[in-house]
């Protein structure tokens, strides 16, 4: 474990899973949360939405306490689609197939982070694939952020930009597919290696198209009205675009050594509302395209040396996934997974979402707030057995 | 109004189903292999497509043929007029959901085939089940199926729901249409439905 | 002569009998009311229309009370009938003296009803406080009238100050601005049993309207008094409708709706006072009576509907549905929402028409009229929302279902529709016409006839027949609807949460945060009650202290007994003086 040690709270909070509370540099044992049930007042009702309803991409249930129109409080029940994945005692290659399928839309971040943890555990020099992995993750970030903004347009009933962004998303997916031979990066990552044909990546067209949509959205008064000053949250325990939208310069691209970016500039906003998150995400799309373009000029296409010396060890990794910090801890014995633990960005984002949505919002704001965090239940509700 | 003109100006072209863009994975695999497949999709050197998650590890060759589906029942003609789908997520990784979403993107524009999304199973013609079996969603899938009017179809989308893929258990239901792949590509989804309705030979 | 006063005698008799036999008392009241209207109603003499209105309300409420008042002890029926008797006296009055005696005989039993019904008697004192303001002002008006004309009789006066003072007095009783800002009327009316609430809201306030109209007919035109009335009326309309919409107590909702309706009537009366064109004036007068008729009868219906549920708050009501009740309720509430085919629809149309026609007079009045007309239309919109709330959330009742009460509710609804259909018969010939070229024959259409450019036209019979025909056609084509009941889809899980009335109206609470002063505090939604109301509670409290002090000092009995004694003494004195006079 080069980057982490077990111990007490140290540095910023990354999130929790059912075993640990994870901080910037330490893994602490978990302090149990208290999930008090929200009592409603006699004049209020529980407004139920989900787990399966139109407008929800994944199965998740919300119970909104409302006296009518305003949201006073909310409970998010995400346990419905909890998956139990048998991964302990698998060998690394087999485990990889399962890690890819924790969150299919963010496979690159998950797999890369998992592999970085393994490389840390087995003490493998992985500098050779650093840049390729960055390209991969930044591509995923572009697609993910576009998807979130698409969600915002959908909530506003803005079909034209929604479809245009959907079009862009598919275009990027095709670039990914051409480069990595799979539309969702499945089977593209190996220990200290990324299989991909990097000279197929052409993003200049995407940059212009996205920039145009982004500017048009900024000009649209209706859209701005809908997303400004709603879902305001400002919390020191936050990560990813949501943190950066309320002024925290939290970014694993800067404060984690698992992947090394050189001189990345963090874009932040102060207000912490849905609009700020929109701004942060949009600008990160543009920034990511620039990062990729720069790296593409530098990398070669050669294969890396994947000689494995050890076959046991403990390792960790933390990188910046599109939604925030993602963290993996692995314990390998005889090339088999002995223990595995991950913290997904959705954990903190869901906490933030809950705070944001009850901060003086009405029911129609709900979708904007939900979409703006880009939460994935699939990565939140997995048990490794 | 401004957006209306912006939309027209952009002139995004929907693609013709015949000049589909080619992908290798997932597509039908051919050949023989002795590889120890992680999902047991190779038995006696032969490929069992329902179980395959297209992990690219064995030496079966991809054919670019994306017609990866099984149609297990005669589909009533009434669905040719309009076909409303209600997706339900049992335990997905998220990729199946996204691919399903993608069939409504301008490139594919599935609405042109009179295929739409429904917001409630009560107005749906087919239930599209994705993901592995999970305890939490079992009852809900049951309820959704009960809430649908007759005639109704069950569609399984993705290796997870049909065979359990590599993640877990399959959904214990008999699907009328099985759409294979992990995740199935948008063309596979569209083709499967069109084929089942008898729109394409 | 004695025959003419027969109803009055009958009704006082009924009050006494009802102490022992309350059923007989109610039936006698109904009979007295019918005789009363037969003796006094004269077609095209619009002031006598008030007699008809009052009689219809009394008949309906008395019939409803037969089963309803069972749960309320033996005092309710004598007090109820005494209130009615007081009103009858008002309607009989030809001079200020009798009017004032009637006014008091009507009011005092009302306080008692509230006091007996509520454990906490603050409501009764608030009610009393505002009523006594009105009495003082009306007496002042009487004195002034005597000063100007030399008699206490109702005769022509050529000074508008009497009307103004009288009207302010009546407004206080009607709960209008500025006496309405605090919610005294809805709270007081809401604190009585439903049958009493009905006559408080439907006829007690009608007496105010009657008085104002009567004096307005005797007074000269006055632009300023008229515009003042219009402004006061409009404010009442808007606030009344808004508060009605957000009210959770069903009877308070009715009370606020009364304020709204009275506001409309007052502003139309203002128009009447301000306009000097005789054709338009008569049209406005007819508007007043038709609107008063619609309001009073439908309001009665609203209160008995609410009474029928057996609860006070929307939240206490639960699941029983009855078609007869629903149909009656539908007509009643559509009348209160100003929708066709009910009398309320016609009345609202006439109000808007009157205001918009007045615009042809130009000048300050014309401008006021246009603005006022639009605001009233807006108020009616809110009223519709409030009425829908009643319609949805009273579809249920937790009391043992009494079929008889449903009959009365249906009867009430049908009366409103019938009156709508026959309305051309009771509106002066001058305003009735037709357009034979489009098959609307003479005698079937109402128009204001003030200017050759009508703002609108209406033909009740045709409307009714068209609605009927379309209903029948729809029925013929579709037959009885085939209903397929299926489980609702609530995200796939069970959830036994129902949309409630509070949630229904919360949008307005939030939109009008500034006016209604809604806010969150410690996760609790708070609606600040008016400062004015708090002051009033203090005043009423002080008033109660003094009364109690006097009561204990001079009479060693309960306060209720003291008040009962007061009424009888008062009644006696009044009757003697008026006979002597
Ligand atoms: S591609 Fe993977 S899953 Fe499919 S048959 Fe080959 S080894 Fe098995
Ligand atoms: S079939 Fe594959 S892509 Fe679809 S949910 Fe399962 S693992 Fe994800």
What ipTM was assigned to the predicted interfaces of this complex? 0.94
Say yes or no for a CB contact (<8 Å) between C493 and B121: no
Instruction: Give which of C532, C507, C231 is closest to C389, Cα–Cα.
Output: C507
Note whether C494 contacts B: Cβ–Cβ < 8 A. no
Q: In chain B, which residue's Cα lies nearest the Cα of A93?
A: B38
- C50-82 in b/e form (b: 16+ CB < 10 A) is bbbbbbbbbbbbbbbbbbbbeebeebbbbbbbb
Residue C559 tokens read as: 């306060």
CB A314 within 8 A of CB A121: yes
Q: Chain-wide mean pLDDT for chain A? A: 91
Number of H helices, E strands in chain B: 5, 10
Give the pLDDT confidence score for residue C557 in this predicted structure. 44
Residue C569: C-alpha distances to residues C18, C101, C566 (Å): 19, 12, 5
Question: Residue C248: its chain A contacts at CB < 8 A?
Answer: 43
Instruction: Tell me the pLDDT of chain A (385 aa) as tens digits.
Output: 888 999 888 889 999 988 899 999 999 998 887 777 778 887 888 889 989 998 899 999 999 998 888 888 899 999 999 999 999 999 999 999 999 999 999 999 999 999 999 999 998 888 888 999 999 999 999 999 999 999 999 999 889 999 999 999 999 999 999 999 999 999 999 988 898 888 889 998 999 999 999 999 999 988 999 899 889 999 999 999 999 999 999 999 998 888 988 888 899 999 999 999 999 999 999 999 999 999 998 876 556 666 667 788 999 999 999 999 999 999 999 889 999 999 999 999 999 999 999 878 888 899 999 999 999 999 999 999 8
A77: CB partners within 8 A, 6+ apart: A51, A60, A61, A62, A63
CB B86 within 8 A of CB B129: no
- The CATH number assigned to the domain holding B98 equals 3.40.50.12280
Number of structural domains in chain B? 1
Low pLDDT (below 50) residues in chain C:
181-182, 528-533, 554-557, 559, 562
- Give the C-alpha separation, B89 to B95, whole Å: 11
Q: What is the CA radius of gyration of chain C?
A: 24
Note whether B143 contacts C: Cβ–Cβ < 8 A. yes
How many Cβ atoms are within 10 Å of C374's Cβ, its own excluded? 14
How many CA atoms lie less than 13 Å away from C23 in the CB half-sphere? Answer: 2
- The kind and range of the H/E element at B94 are none
Give the pLDDT confidence score for residue C119 in this predicted structure. 58
pLDDT digits (tens, 9 = 90+) for C81-116: 989 999 998 998 888 888 888 888 888 888 888 877
Return the DSSP state at C528.
Answer: P
Backbone angles phi, psi at A32, to 5 degrees: -60, 145
- The kind and range of the H/E element at C414 are helix C403-426
How many CA atoms lie less than 13 Å away from C107 in the CB half-sphere? Answer: 26
Q: Identify whether B57 is part of a domain.
A: no
Question: Residue C489: its chain B contacts at CB < 8 A?
Answer: 120-122, 144, 147
Question: Is 50 exceeded by the pLDDT of residue B154?
Answer: yes
- Give the C-alpha separation, C105 to C126, whole Å: 18
- Give the C-alpha separation, A110 to A326, whole Å: 7
- Three-class SS of chain A: CCCCEECCCCCCEEEECCCEEEECCEEEECCCCCCCCCCCCCCCEEEEECCCCCCCCCCCEEEEEECCCECCEEEEECHHHCEEECCCCCEHHHHHHHHHCCCHHHHHHHHHHHHHHHHHHCCCCCHHHHHHHHHHHHHHHHHHHHHHHHHHHHHCCCHHHHHHHHHHHHHHHHHHHHHHCCCCCCCCEECCEECCCHHHCCCHHHHHHHHHHHHHHHHCHHHHHHHCCCCCCCCCCCCHHHHHHCCCCCCHHHHCCCCCCCCCCCCCCCCCCHHHHHHHHHHHHHHHHHHHHHHHHHCCCCCCCCCCCCCCEEEEEEEEECCEEEEEEEEEECCEEEEEEEECHHHHHHHHHHHHHCCCCEHHHHHHHHHHHCCCHHHHCEEEC
- Give the C-alpha separation, C477 to B76, whole Å: 29
pLDDT digits (tens, 9 = 90+) for A179-234: 999 999 999 999 888 988 888 899 989 999 999 999 999 999 889 998 998 899 99
CB A104 within 8 A of CB B94: yes
Q: Identify whether B150 is part of a domain.
A: yes
First to last CA, chain B: 41
Probe target for ligand 2 pocket from B41, B52, B159, with the most ligand atoms within 8 Å of CB = B159
How many Cβ atoms are within 10 Å of B1's Cβ, its own excluded? 5
Indicate the burial class of B21 (C-beta count within 10 angstroms; 0-12, 13-18, 19 or more): middle
For residue A184, which ligand has an atom nearest its CA?
Answer: 2
Q: Identify whether B61 is part of a domain.
A: no
Strands (E), C5-107: none
Q: Identify whether B45 is part of a domain.
A: no
- Residue A275 region, left (φ>0) first, then alpha (ψ -120 to 50), else beta? alpha
User: Which chains border C (3 or more CB–CB pairs < 8 Å)?
Assistant: A, B
- Give the C-alpha separation, C306 to C186, whole Å: 14
Residue C417 forms beta bridges with which residues?
none
A84-384: which CATH topology? Cytochrome-c3 Hydrogenase; chain B (1.10.645)
Centre of ligand 1 to C-alpha A232, Å, is 47
Question: Residue C492: its chain B contacts at CB < 8 A?
Answer: 139-140, 143-144
Residue C525 forms beta bridges with which residues?
C520
Probe target for ligand 2 pocket from B53, B102, B137, B158, with the most ligand atoms within 8 Å of CB = B158
Note whether A12 contacts C: Cβ–Cβ < 8 A. no
- The domain locations on chain C are 2-427, 434-478, 533-580
Residue C217 tokens read as: 């007919």
Q: Which atom of ligand 2 is nearest to the CA of A184?
A: 3
Note whether A51 contacts C: Cβ–Cβ < 8 A. yes
Note whether C554 contacts A: Cβ–Cβ < 8 A. no
Residue C57 tokens read as: 């309300």
What is the DSSP pairing of strand B61-62 with strand B46-47? unpaired
Question: Residue B120: its chain C contacts at CB < 8 A?
Answer: 489
CB A64 within 8 A of CB A49: yes
Alpha-helix residue ranges (DSSP H) falling in chain B: 2-10, 95-102, 135-147, 159-163, 186-197
How many residues are there in chain B? Answer: 201
How many residues are there in chain C? Answer: 581
CB B180 within 8 A of CB B26: yes
Q: Chain-wide mean pLDDT for chain B? A: 90
> Token match 């979409």: residue?
A371
CB A298 within 8 A of CB A131: yes
Backbone angles phi, psi at A214, to 5 degrees: -60, -45
- The domain locations on chain A are 84-384
- Give the C-alpha separation, C367 to C359, whole Å: 6
Give the pLDDT confidence score for residue A185 in this predicted structure. 94
Note whether B89 contacts A: Cβ–Cβ < 8 A. yes
CB A375 within 8 A of CB A323: yes
Give the pLDDT confidence score for residue A236 in this predicted structure. 92
How many Cβ atoms are within 10 Å of C335's Cβ, its own excluded? 33
First to last CA, chain A: 23
- Give the C-alpha separation, C539 to C127, whole Å: 12
Give the pLDDT confidence score for residue C202 in this predicted structure. 87
- The kind and range of the H/E element at C130 are helix C122-149
- The kind and range of the H/E element at C525 are strand C524-527
Note whether A104 contacts B: Cβ–Cβ < 8 A. yes
User: Which of B88, B123, B127, B147 best probes binding to C when mutated, by most C CB atoms within 10 angstroms?
Assistant: B147
- Give the C-alpha separation, C185 to C387, whole Å: 19
- Does residue B52 line the site of ligand 1, with CB under 6 A? yes
- Does residue B156 line the site of ligand 2, with CB under 6 A? no
- A184-220 in b/e form (b: 16+ CB < 10 A) is bbbbbbbbbbbebebeebebeebbebbeebbebbeeb
Residue A320 forms beta bridges with which residues?
A325
pLDDT digits (tens, 9 = 90+) for B54-96: 998 998 999 988 889 999 988 888 888 899 999 999 999 999 9
Q: How far is CA A80 from the centre of its chain?
A: 20
How many Cβ atoms are within 10 Å of B50's Cβ, its own excluded? 16
Backbone angles phi, psi at A18, to 5 degrees: -75, -5
Instruction: Give which of B149, B129, B152 is closest to B140, Cα–Cα.
Output: B129
Residue A343 forms beta bridges with which residues?
A327
Residue C440 forms beta bridges with which residues?
C435
User: Which of C487, C492, C494, C495 best probes binding to B when mutated, by most B CB atoms within 10 angstroms?
Assistant: C492
């Amino acid at each position: 474990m080069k980057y982490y040690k077990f111990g007490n709270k140290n540095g910023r909070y990354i999130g929790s899973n059912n075993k640990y509370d994870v901080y910037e540099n330490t893994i602490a044992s978990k302090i149990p949360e208290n999930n008090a049930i929200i009592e409603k007042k006699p004049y209020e009702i529980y407004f139920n939405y989900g787990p399966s309803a139109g407008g929800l991409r994944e199965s998740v249930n919300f119970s909104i306490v409302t006296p009518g129109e305003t949201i006073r409080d909310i409970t998010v029940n995400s346990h419905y689609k909890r998956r139990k994945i048998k991964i302990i005692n698998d060998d690394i290659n087999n485990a990889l197939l399962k890690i890819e399928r924790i969150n299919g839309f963010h496979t690159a971040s998950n797999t890369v982070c998992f592999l970085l943890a393994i490389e840390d555990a087995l003490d493998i020099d992985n500098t050779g694939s650093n840049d390729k992995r960055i390209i991969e993750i930044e591509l995923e970030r572009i697609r993910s952020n576009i998807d979130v903004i698409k969600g915002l347009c959908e909530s506003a009933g803005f079909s034209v930009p929604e479809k245009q962004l959907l079009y862009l998303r598919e275009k990027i997916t095709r670039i990914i597919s051409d480069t990595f031979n799979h539309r969702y990066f499945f089977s593209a990552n190996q220990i200290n290696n990324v299989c991909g044909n990097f000279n197929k990546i052409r993003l200049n067209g995407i940059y212009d198209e996205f920039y145009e949509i982004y500017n048009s959205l900024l000009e649209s008064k209706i859209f701005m009205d809908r997303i400004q000053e709603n879902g305001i949250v400002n919390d020191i325990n936050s990560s990813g675009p949501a943190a950066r939208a309320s002024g925290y310069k939290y970014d694993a691209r800067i404060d984690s050594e698992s992947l090394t970016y050189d001189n990345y500039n963090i874009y932040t906003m102060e207000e912490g509302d849905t609009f700020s998150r929109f701004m942060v995400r949009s600008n990160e799309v543009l920034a990511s395209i620039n990062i990729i373009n720069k790296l593409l000029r530098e990398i070669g296409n050669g294969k890396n040396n994947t000689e494995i010396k050890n076959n046991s060890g403990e390792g960790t990794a933390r990188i910046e996934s599109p939604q925030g910090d993602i963290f993996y801890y692995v314990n390998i014995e005889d090339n088999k997974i002995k223990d595995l633990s991950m913290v997904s960005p959705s954990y903190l984002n869901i906490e933030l979402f809950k705070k944001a949505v009850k901060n003086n919002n009405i029911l129609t704001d709900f979708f904007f707030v939900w979409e703006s965090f880009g939460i994935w239940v699939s990565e939140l509700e997995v048990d490794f057995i | 109004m401004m957006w209306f003109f912006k939309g027209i100006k952009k002139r995004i072209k929907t693609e013709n189903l015949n000049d589909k863009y080619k992908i290798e994975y997932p597509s039908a695999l051919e050949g023989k292999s002795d590889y120890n497949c992680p999902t047991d999709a190779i038995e006696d050197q032969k490929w069992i497509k329902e179980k395959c998650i297209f992990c690219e590890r064995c030496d079966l060759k991809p054919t670019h043929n994306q017609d990866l589906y099984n149609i297990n029942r005669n589909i009533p003609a009434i669905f040719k007029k309009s076909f409303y789908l209600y997706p339900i997520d049992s335990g997905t990784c998220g990729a199946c959901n996204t691919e399903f979403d993608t069939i409504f993107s301008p490139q594919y524009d599935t609405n042109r085939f009179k295929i739409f999304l429904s917001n409630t199973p009560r107005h749906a013609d087919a239930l599209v089940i994705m993901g592995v079996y999970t305890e939490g969603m079992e009852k809900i899938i049951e309820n959704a199926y009960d809430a649908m009017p007759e005639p109704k179809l069950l569609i399984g989308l993705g290796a997870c729901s049909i065979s359990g893929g590599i993640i877990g258990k399959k959904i214990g239901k008999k699907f009328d249409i099985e759409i294979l792949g992990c995740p199935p590509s948008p063309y596979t989804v569209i083709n499967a439905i069109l084929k089942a309705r008898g729109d394409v030979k | 002569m004695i025959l003419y006063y027969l109803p009055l005698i009958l009704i006082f008799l009924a009050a006494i009998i009802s102490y022992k036999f309350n059923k007989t008392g109610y039936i006698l009241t109904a009979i007295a009311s019918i005789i009363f209207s037969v003796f006094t109603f004269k077609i095209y003499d619009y002031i006598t229309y008030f007699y008809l209105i009052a009689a219809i309300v009394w008949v309906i409420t008395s019939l409803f009370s037969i089963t309803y008042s069972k749960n309320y002890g033996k005092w309710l029926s004598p007090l109820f009938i005494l209130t009615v008797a007081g009103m009858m006296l008002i309607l009989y009055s030809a001079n200020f003296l009798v009017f004032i005696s009637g006014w008091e005989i009507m009011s005092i039993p009302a306080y008692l009803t509230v006091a007996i019904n509520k454990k906490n008697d603050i409501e009764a004192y608030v009610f009393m406080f505002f009523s006594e303001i009105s009495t003082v002002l009306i007496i002042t008006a009487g004195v002034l009238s005597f000063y100007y004309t030399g008699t206490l009789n109702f005769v022509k006066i050529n000074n508008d100050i009497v009307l103004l003072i009288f009207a302010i007095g009546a407004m206080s009783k009607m709960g209008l601005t500025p006496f309405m800002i605090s919610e005294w009327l809805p709270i007081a009316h809401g604190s009585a049993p439903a049958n009493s609430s009905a006559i408080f809201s439907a006829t007690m306030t009608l007496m105010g309207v009657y008085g104002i109209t009567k004096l307005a007919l005797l007074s000269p035109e006055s632009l300023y008094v008229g515009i003042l009335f219009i402004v006061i009326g409009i404010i009442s309309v808007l606030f009344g409708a808004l508060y009605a919409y957000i009210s959770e107590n069903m009877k308070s909702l009715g009370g606020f709706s009364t304020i709204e309706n009275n506001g409309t009537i007052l502003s139309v009366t203002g128009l009447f006072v301000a306009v000097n064109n005789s054709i338009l004036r008569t049209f406005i007068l007819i508007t007043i009576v038709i609107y008063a008729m619609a309001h009073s009868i439908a309001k009665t219906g609203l209160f008995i509907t609410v009474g029928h549920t057996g609860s006070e708050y929307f939240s206490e009501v639960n699941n029983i549905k009855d078609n007869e009740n629903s149909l009656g309720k539908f007509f009643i509430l559509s009348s209160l929402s100003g929708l066709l085919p009910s009398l309320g629809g016609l009345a609202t149309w006439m109000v808007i028409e009157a205001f918009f026609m007045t615009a042809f007079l130009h000048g300050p009045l014309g401008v006021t009229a246009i603005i006022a007309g639009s605001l009233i239309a807006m108020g009616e919109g809110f009223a519709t929302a409030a009425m829908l709330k009643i319609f949805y959330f009273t579809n249920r009742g937790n009391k043992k279902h009494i079929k008889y009460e449903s009959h009365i509710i249906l009867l009430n609804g049908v009366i409103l529709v019938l009156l709508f259909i026959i309305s051309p018969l009771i509106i002066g010939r001058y305003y009735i016409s037709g357009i034979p070229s489009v098959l609307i024959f003479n005698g079937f259409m109402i128009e204001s006839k003030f200017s050759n450019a009508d703002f609108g036209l209406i033909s009740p019979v045709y409307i009714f027949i068209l609605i009927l025909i379309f209903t029948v056609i729809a029925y013929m084509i579709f037959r009885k609807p085939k209903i397929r009941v299926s489980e609702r889809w609530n995200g796939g899980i069970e959830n036994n949460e129902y949309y409630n009335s509070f949630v229904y109206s919360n949008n307005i609470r939030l939109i009008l945060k500034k006016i209604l002063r809604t806010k969150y505090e410690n996760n609790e939604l708070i609606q600040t009650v008016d400062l004015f109301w708090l002051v009033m509670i203090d005043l009423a409290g002080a008033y109660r202290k003094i009364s109690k002090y006097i009561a204990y000092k001079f009479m060693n009995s309960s306060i209720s007994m003291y008040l009962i004694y007061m009424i009888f003494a008062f009644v006696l004195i009044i009757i003697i003086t008026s006979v002597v006079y």
